């Protein structure tokens, strides 16, 4: 999936699910938008839907390093790359 | 001897209205909040015999941001709304909320059953999606202390958290334990109350015990009928209530509007059967409450009886009241208007009692047309009476053999 399309899909999720509209892709989501651990778990459910398959425990643990929208896009791209 | 504790704000969401104006209109005009069950579920509705419920069927203007909504089940919406209204009504300063001197005592009978039901569905999912069907926040929405901690979180309250979970005495315990926390100096103020959401599980439980009203399914406003010869059981209801308790000196100093004083509280257990009403247990609780309030039976003007309209419970309660009070105080059964709002009944009945104090009236027991002779030894209120009400006792009893009495005195 193209990075721009991924970005648009993630921004849609942030708008619809988290009521965070057009966050700066490089801003710290926790500090700037009060994105917390509950939101992170919900986001993983969306990422699973996006990928069409469940994330492994190891992949979920890796997601805990994400701090920004760009981190999240990198994370998804990385999973796609490793799975291919 | 401890510090004096006063009530400085109240809020209730009930089947007969939200807020004093609507509620009082229903109480003064004999309007029942009991309706036919109009939100059947896919599990229990077709099996239960009772077709009536105390329903909150009006819109509530919630204004909670997603940050808070994400950990709230329906029960916490009720709880947080009443807490919000209490904080606004009392005019508490923001720095006091997070001073550590304000606590929360709030409960429910089982958290959020509608959220729990979704969790259980995952166990029986034919597609075997397992726990991925369980939302990350489901536990926070449904746990037993969900109301208390969602209130604490929403308003940044950092003091004590008490979350009683004793069925129908939950709210009375919240208020009683909150009162004790202030009286003995552990806190300066407490937001106390309880909430329960619409759910048919409780109806099924009482239905199986043959304790639910079933004869008035086509005329729901005629039931429940506390102390009436033709009563046929309780009616489950939903709702919430919150009161702010404050230490008298600090409330007076900040110019708070003092609605009443909490003068006593007692809580006992029957020490035996977990379901059957127990006359000795009720008498012991009344005696202990009067002693705690340091008053005599003749000082009490009005008793808000638990009066669920079950065959046995009302008789036991009437006889216990007569044993301890004689026929001096008026007795009213306020569940006749809203049904049995489970965990919240104690605080809702206390708030209705505050209204009676403020308006100088005694609200009659609705549907009490022919008093059961076994309940006829006490002074029932069968019609609206204009009268100053100075001291009220609110009685509640719960499964598990738990009994409570709260005493409030008019200080307005």
Residues B124-178: tens digit of each pLDDT: 877 766 666 677 789 999 999 999 999 999 999 999 999 999 999 999 999 999 9
Please, what is the average pLDDT of chain B?
95
Yes or no: say if B52 and B37 are a contact pair by the CB < 8 Å rule.
yes
Nearest to A38 among B65, B70, B132 (CB): B70
- Residue B300 to residue B328: CA distance in whole angstroms: 8
Do residues B227 and B376 both lie within one domain? Answer: no
Task: Tell me whether residue A76 is exposed, middle or buried, using C-beta atoms within 10 angstroms of its C-beta: 0 to 12, 13 to 18, 19 or more.
Answer: buried
* Pairing assessment for the beta strands B260-269 and B5-14 based on DSSP bridges: antiparallel
pLDDT tens for each residue of B248-298: 999 999 999 999 999 999 999 999 999 999 999 999 999 999 999 999 999
pLDDT of residue B145: 98
Do residues B247 and B272 both lie within one domain? Answer: no
User: Is the complex ipTM higher than 0.85?
Assistant: no
Backbone angles phi, psi at B291, to 5 degrees: -65, -40
Do residues B370 and B249 both lie within one domain? Answer: no
Residue B239 vs residue B39, higher pLDDT: B239
Shortest distance between the Cα of A3 and any Cα of chain B, in A, equals 27
Specify whether the backbone of B263 is left (phi greater than 0), alpha (psi in -120 to 50) or beta: alpha
- What is the CATH code of the structural domain delimited by A3-83? 1.10.1200.10
The domain that contains B283 carries what CATH number?
A: 3.40.47.10
Do residues B218 and B284 both lie within one domain? Answer: no
Cβ <8 Å between A54 and B66: no
Do residues B209 and B315 both lie within one domain? Answer: no
Nearest to A38 among B65, B132, B137 (CB): B137
Q: Where are the domains of chain A?
A: 3-83
Yes or no: say if B239 and B338 are a contact pair by the CB < 8 Å rule.
yes
Do residues B270 and B379 both lie within one domain? Answer: yes
Count of C-beta atoms within a 10 Å radius of residue A45: 17
- Chain B residues with CB under 8 Å of A38 CB are 70-71, 136-137, 140
- The alpha carbon torsion through A40, A42, A46, A51 (nearest 10 deg) reads 60
Residue B83 sits at the vertex; the CA angle it makes with B180 and B184, to the nearest 5 degrees, is 15
Domain range for B121 is 5-253
Q: Which residues contact A10 (CB under 8 A, 6 or more apart)?
A: A69, A72, A73, A76
- Residue B247 to residue B362: CA distance in whole angstroms: 28
Task: Tell me whether residue B30 is exposed, middle or buried, using C-beta atoms within 10 angstroms of its C-beta: 0 to 12, 13 to 18, 19 or more.
Answer: middle
| Chain B interface residues (partner A, CB cutoff 8 A) | 65-67, 70-71, 132, 135-137, 140
Q: Distance between the two ends of chain B, CA-based, in angstroms? A: 23
Shortest distance between the Cα of B71 and any Cα of chain A, in A, equals 9
Nearest to A18 among B66, B132, B135 (CB): B66
């Amino acid at each position: 999936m193209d990075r721009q399309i991924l970005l648009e899909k993630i921004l849609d999720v942030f708008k619809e699910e988290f009521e965070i509209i057009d966050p700066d892709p490089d801003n710290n989501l926790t500090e700037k938008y009060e994105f917390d651990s509950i939101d992170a778990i919900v986001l993983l459910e969306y990422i699973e839907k996006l990928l069409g398959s469940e994330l492994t425990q190891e992949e979920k643990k890796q997601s805990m390093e994400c701090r920004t929208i760009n981190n999240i896009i990198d994370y998804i791209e990385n999973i796609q790359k490793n799975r291919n | 001897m401890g510090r004096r504790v006063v009530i400085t704000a109240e809020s209730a969401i009930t089947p007969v209205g939200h807020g004093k104006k609507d509620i009082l209109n229903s109480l003064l005009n004999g309007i029942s909040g009991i309706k036919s069950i109009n939100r059947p579920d896919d599990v229990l509705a077709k099996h239960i015999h009772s077709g009536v419920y105390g329903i909150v069927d009006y819109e509530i203007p919630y204004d909670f941001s997603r940050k808070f909504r994400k950990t709230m089940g329906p029960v916490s919406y009720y709880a947080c709304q009443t807490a919000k209204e209490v904080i606004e009504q009392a005019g508490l300063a923001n720095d006091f909320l997070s001073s550590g001197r304000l606590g929360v005592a709030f409960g429910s009978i089982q958290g959020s059953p509608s959220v729990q039901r979704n969790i259980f569905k995952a166990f029986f999912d034919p597609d075997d999606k397992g726990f991925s069907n369980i939302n990350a926040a489901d536990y926070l929405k449904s746990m037993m202390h969900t109301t208390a901690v969602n209130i604490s979180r929403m308003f940044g309250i950092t003091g004590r958290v008490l979350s009683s979970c004793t069925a129908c005495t939950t709210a009375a315990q919240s208020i009683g334990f909150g009162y004790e926390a202030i009286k003995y100096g552990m806190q300066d103020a407490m937001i106390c109350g309880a909430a329960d959401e619409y759910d048919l599980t409780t109806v099924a439980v009482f239905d199986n015990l043959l304790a639910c009203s079933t004869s008035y399914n086509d005329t729901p406003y005629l039931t429940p009928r506390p102390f009436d010869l033709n009563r046929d059981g309780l009616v489950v209801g939903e709702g919430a209530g919150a009161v702010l308790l404050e230490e008298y000196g600090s409330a007076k100093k900040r110019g708070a509007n003092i609605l009443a004083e909490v003068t006593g509280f007692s809580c006992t257990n029957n020490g035996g059967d977990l379901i059957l009403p127990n006359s000795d247990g009720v008498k012991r609780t009344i005696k202990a409450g009067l002693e705690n309030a340091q008053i005599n039976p003749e000082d009490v003007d009005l008793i808000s009886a638990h009066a669920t309209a079950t065959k046995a419970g009302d008789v036991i309660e009437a006889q216990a009241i007569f044993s301890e009070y004689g026929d001096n105080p008026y007795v009213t059964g306020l569940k006749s208007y809203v049904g049995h709002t489970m965990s919240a009944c104690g605080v809702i009945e206390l708030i209705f009692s505050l209204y009676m104090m403020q308006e100088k009236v005694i609200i009659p027991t609705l549907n009490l047309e022919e008093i059961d002779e076994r309940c006829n030894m006490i002074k029932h209120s069968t019609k609206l009476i204009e009268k100053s009400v100075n001291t009220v006792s609110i009685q509640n009893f719960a499964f598990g053999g738990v009994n409570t009495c709260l005493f409030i005195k008019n200080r307005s």
